[in-house]
Structure formats: structure tokens, C-alpha cells
Amino acid sequence: MQTNSIDERIEDILEGIQKETSGLLGFVLFTKDGFPVKSTLTHSRESAIQEQELFSAIGAGLISLAERTLSQIQMLPMDRLTIESEKGNIVVEKITPDVGIMALALPSTPLGMVRIAVKNARDRLKTLLE
């Protein structure tokens, strides 16, 4: 019996949660240094790698900035970072000290649903990544 690789299991988890959450554009999994681990945000084959790299760097930068800010005002640890825009919403959270996840959603998607999707992904991926 053949088992799926960790990469395939990560992809299955992210794609499954994405399918369950209407309006969720996708996830990006990244290292604390901003390197891509996995992404379900692929608009076109040509831009997929650049898109992964860009969103990974953005996600890591957001976590780093939020943690520095919270440290300055003595409010650590950070739970999650939420950014709302009229063009969409972003939720970023750490899975492990070295890996984070970012979800992007349409503005019509209830923010609570996006947060639940990120929490579900975090909980399911945590054991794979530790």
C-alpha cells in the first residue's frame, strides 16, 4: 500500500478546505524566511511560481511586522493577522514557529468563514509540519 507524500497530503488538505469554503481564493504556506512551501493560488501556469514567491514573502513579512509591533506594546503572542479591503480579505497565521499560512478571499466571503478555514488548515497541518 502506497502512502501519499507529505507534499501531497498538504495539498489535499488545503484544496479540500478551499473547496469547502465558498469565496476562498486560496492558501499560501510559507517559511518564516518567506520561502514558499505550497500554494493553492494558481491563476495561470506561467505566473504560479512568481505568485507563490511573492505571497510567501508578503505573508512572512506581515507576521514579522505584526510580531515586532505587538512586542513593542507588550501584547505577544500573536494569534492571527486579518486585513480587510474592499477588494478582498487576507488572514495570516503561524502554524509552527517556522511555517505560516495565508488565506485570500473575496470581499463577499464572511470573514468568520475565512478565519475558520485558516484554523482548520492550521490544525490539520500542524502535526505534518512539526
Instruction: Supply the pTM of this predicted model.
Output: 0.91
Lowest average pLDDT, out of 13-27, 32-46, 105-119, goes to 32-46
Structural Rg of the chain based on CA atoms = 14
Give yes or no for residue 72 having a pLDDT over 80. Answer: yes
Domain 6-129 class in CATH? alpha beta
pLDDT at residue 75, as a whole number: 96
* Tens-digit pLDDT profile for residues 88-99: 999 999 999 999
Q: Which residue, chain included where needed, has cell 484544496?
A: 15
Q: What is the pLDDT of residues 22-36, one digit of tens each?
A: 999 999 999 999 999
Burial class (CB in 10 A: 0-12, 13-18, 19+), 13: buried
